Structure 1
Amino acid sequence: MRKVNEVIEIKDIEPMRVAYKTYEGDLRQAGRHMPSVFKAIKGRSNGSPFFSIYSSDPQTKIGKADLCVPTEETPVANDIFVKETPRVKAACVLHQGSYEELSVAYEQLADYVRTQGLLVTGPCREVYIKGPGALLKGNPKKYLTEIQLPIDGSKADDY
């Protein structure tokens, strides 16, 4: 496991129109369903990175995820929907490395939120800036994933 030394930033995340599919189950398998979202919009994303918004049990990895692709297109599949994600303030960390190492970045982010006394206000987001391609896996050491944890910015009584 590699040491995470990325800087945590507080960002204002703007609302975004997305096509999405809700997945429930083992979140390690959720990515297999992302191609169906791209197919439903005929590959016409708006150029912003795709992302997942989810909550899960950290031990079992079982949870619920909205697999989101930013687009202005209307999906042509019955199980793909459109929504606008809300504006949020978020504690964010940029992780470089494989998806299997994301837990280290999550721990760093959770420690930061706890020590700063911040209140988590919603499910986390994983923004896939650079990852495996459609045909080639690429080098997992070069994957870039931003983890965004929505916060209210004020101090929490307890976390």
Structure 2
Amino acid sequence: MNYEIKIKGIEPVLAATLRFSGRSEDAGKYFPDIYKALKGQSSGSPFFCYYNKEFSETADIELCVPVSEKKELRGIIIKELPRIKAVCTVHTGSYETIKNAYQALTKYISEKNLETDIPAREVYIKGPGMFFKGNPDKYITEIIIPLKNPHFD
């Protein structure tokens, strides 16, 4: 698959967050806890923030659901993720093949001699629903890797 890679500004986002340490495929089980605490009120696609510099079987992940207002929720932290400049691409297909998108990004970053930062984000634009799994071939995930010392235009 050919990936279109862009460098773009990502605006700040207010999100309900829950930190998780473990396998990324297990982290998604905790999204319902966030949605339940929010009573279904979200204002965008959910995403993961990955705080590991390198791939690891046990990842430090923050589950995030965009919200429109800051309010107290038990066990859930609401915080603003700052504006960033990032190298991005969109992966269409199952999560099992998402490594291909990361390989394309890694190659681009290396060729352009870019310095990256953490956390990387995976924004789940279209994925499995709460009740129906959906078709994994049609999942859409945006991968966002922040740049160090960005200059905003």
Q: What's the TM-score once normalised by structure 2's chain length?
A: 0.91
The answer as to 2:147 corresponding to 1:151 is yes
Q: Number of aligned residue pairs: give it.
A: 148
Which residue is equivalent to 1:23? 20
RMSD: 1.5
Q: Which secondary structure state, in structure 2, belongs to the residue aligned with residue 132 of structure 1? A: coil
After TM superposition, give the deviation of residue 39 of structure 1 in Å: 0.8
Q: 1:125 aligned to 121, 124, 127, which one?
A: 121
Q: CA–CA distance in 2 between the matches of 1:98 and 1:75?
A: 35
**Partner Cα separation in structure 2 for residue 129 and residue 140 of structure 1:** 12
Match for 2:125: what amino acid? I
Q: After superposition, what is the alpha-carbon deviation per residue over 1:62-106, rounded to whole angstroms, capped at 9, x for unaligned?
A: 1111100011352532x2111000111010010000011111111
Secondary structure (helix, strand or coil) at the match of 2:103 reads: helix
Gap runs ≥5 in structure 2 = none
Q: Tell whether 2:135 aligns with 1:109.
A: no
The structure with the greater share of residues assigned to strand is: 1
Which residue is equivalent to 2:39? Answer: 42
Partner AA of 1:90 in structure 2: A
Q: Which runs of 5+ in 1 are unaligned?
A: 155-159
Structure 2 vs 1, CA of residues 65 and 23 (structure 1 numbering), >3 Å: closer, same or farther?
A: same
Residues 153/12 of structure 1: CA separation in 2 closer, same or farther (3 Å cut): same
Alignment-derived partner of residue 50 in structure 2: 54
1:105 aligned counterpart, secondary structure: helix
Q: TM-score, normalised by structure 1?
A: 0.88
| Aligned counterpart, 2:3 | 6
**2:62 counterpart (66, 88, 107):** 66
Distance 1:24 1:94 in 2: 25
